[in-house]
Amino acid sequence: MNDLLARFRDCPVLIVGDLMLDEYLWGHVNRISPEAPVPVVEVQRRSFTAGGAANTAANVASLGGRAIVAGIVGDDSAGQRIRDLLDGQGIDSSALVIDSSRPTTTKTRVIAHSQQMVRIDHEQPGALSEAVEKELLAQLEIQLHLVRAAVVSDYGKGVITSNLCERFIELAKAAKVPVIVDPKGTDYRKYRGATVVKPNQLETGKVLNRELRTTAEVEQAGRDLLQFLGAGSSVLVTRGAQGMTLLEADRPTVHVPTQAREVYDVTGAGDTVAGALALSLAVGSNLESACQLASLAAAVVVGKVGTATCTILDLEEAIRSRG
């Protein structure tokens, strides 16, 4: 695994998907409003992070790779802040497309005494216009000739349309670039042909309209998804404390146990897995080894509070601790 990590340095990975700005208002509560029976939060500070697909990019960058983000932002201050945050993390934002017809997706969380009081979403989900989608596809086609792996980060906000996703996978195949999909929703037709599709256990059950309670049921569901996704695709079902289950056509099922010792916060763990998988496949790892490394990276992240990333140093220490 250390040999694998050494090859991560500056390896280019393209991440396409829904970007969003995460805004946090931090404060405290001393009284109830006289206007309504609600707490009054006195804001003391404000912070911002780039979320959604940008968090996967942040994980690629923190692992030493060169992350390139493609997606949509609005022609507004939130979109500019996302670009500034990406630039500050050393993430290439040149493939972002500005859509003046919709606002940048923004999620504002009000937090008092370490507890989230309310979340306010400012967004306009829905499919992209034909012109904007065409512009984004043109950017993707350029970038696919410059990278060694790609991630589709679908948050269901409208960027990953069926047409865009299907065309992107076709272009990636032609460029011999592996594609890892972090899926959303129940229509997986648009993901056909992807190298790896990575739903969690709950999402897998919803797609197939069944409840998955046992490892055997998860394995059968994964096999059913494999048949649906077609030749060349694999399925990785993430299962929280039960680890991950990898299903490849014509190969035995592989159950990757969780590496986590203490779990403080699972936020962002899926983005970490996607980023680690992409980098591993980009540098020539087989899928099973890539999943082992991604499991270690996820274990690092869930041991941190809040949306976090795993660094090369974190992963090297995790490998040493595992022995």
CA 251 to chain centroid, in Å, comes to: 26
Q: How far apart are CA 269 and CA 119, in angstroms?
A: 21
**Calpha distance 147→271 (Å, rounded):** 19
**Closest by CA position to 75, among listed 30, 132, 116:** 132
Residue 17 is classified by DSSP as: E
The C-alpha atoms of residue 104 and residue 101 are separated, in whole angstroms, by 10
User: CA angle at residue 165 from 152 to 243, to 5 degrees?
Assistant: 35
What positions carry a catalytic annotation? 271
Residue 20, φ and ψ in degrees, nearest 5 = -150, 155
Tell me the torsion sign for CA atoms 258, 59, 222, 289: negative
Could you give the CA distance from residue 106 to residue 99 in angstroms, rounded to a whole number? 15
Which residues are CB-neighbours of 273 under 8 A, at least 6 positions away? 198, 236, 238, 244, 294, 295, 297, 298
